[in-house]
């Protein structure tokens, strides 16, 4: 079966939570916050969001959600991207990112910002963004917690 990309929906909440937990990358608090963002992004009134699911064999294997950045003319943020461990390494994250970028572009967005951790165990995430054309434009010392910098990535869609 192939990979299907579609709009994220409220019915995906449980599968999204499972993917977040299975990834092992997030604390319980982070999963709770991610699901709060999920709820905002899949609400009927969520006009400032873009959120997509990756589905395979009828099941959700990953999702991305982001939104337009307040106070900016055409900048968007990726808030969350997650691929279930059983589906990692097969280009699902890349496909989700490209679908997100296409949606941003079609809605007048021109650049995307994403923050991720500077920890050694996030090196894969950082390389993922770099390979997708994002470049580092900032690094906030101890942002998440002592020893855990926040790294700011940026991509110009033009």
State the residues that interact with a second copy by CB under 8 A.
29-30, 33, 69-75, 110-111, 113, 137-146, 150, 152, 154, 156
Instruction: Retrieve residue 116's tokens.
Output: 């991720």
Nearer to a second copy by Cβ, of 14 and 73: the residue is: 73
CB of 32 to a second copy, least distance (A): 10
CB of 152 to a second copy, least distance (A): 5
CB of 33 to a second copy, least distance (A): 6
Nearer to a second copy by Cβ, of 20 and 87: the residue is: 20
- The number of beta carbons lying within 10 Å of the beta carbon of residue 139 is 11
Nearer to a second copy by Cβ, of 91 and 141: the residue is: 141
Closest by CA to 8, choosing from 69, 55, 45, 47, is 55
Residues 6+ apart with CB under 8 A from 124: none
CB of 150 to a second copy, least distance (A): 8
CB of 122 to a second copy, least distance (A): 13
Nearer to a second copy by Cβ, of 120 and 146: the residue is: 146
The DSSP letter of residue 90 is: S
Q: Is 92 exposed, middle or buried (0-12, 13-18, 19+ CB in 10 A)?
A: buried
Nearer to a second copy by Cβ, of 15 and 152: the residue is: 152
Closest by CA to 107, choosing from 69, 53, 79, is 69
């Amino acid at each position: 079966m192939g990979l299907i990309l579609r709009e994220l929906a409220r019915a995906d909440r449980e599968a999204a939570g499972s993917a977040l937990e299975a990834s092992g990358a997030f604390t319980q608090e982070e999963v709770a916050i991610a699901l709060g963002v999920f709820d905002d992004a899949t609400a009927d009134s969520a006009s400032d969001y873009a959120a997509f699911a990756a589905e395979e064999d009828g099941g959700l294997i990953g999702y991305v959600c982001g939104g337009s950045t307040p106070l900016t003319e055409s900048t968007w943020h990726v808030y969350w991207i997650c691929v279930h461990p059983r589906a990692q390494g097969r280009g699902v994250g890349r496909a989700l990112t490209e679908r997100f970028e296409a949606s941003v572009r079609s809605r007048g967005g021109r650049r995307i910002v994403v923050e991720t951790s500077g920890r050694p165990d996030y090196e894969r995430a950082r390389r993922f963004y770099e390979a997708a054309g994002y470049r580092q434009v900032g690094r906030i010392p101890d942002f998440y917690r002592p020893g855990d910098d926040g790294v700011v990535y940026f991509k110009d869609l033009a």
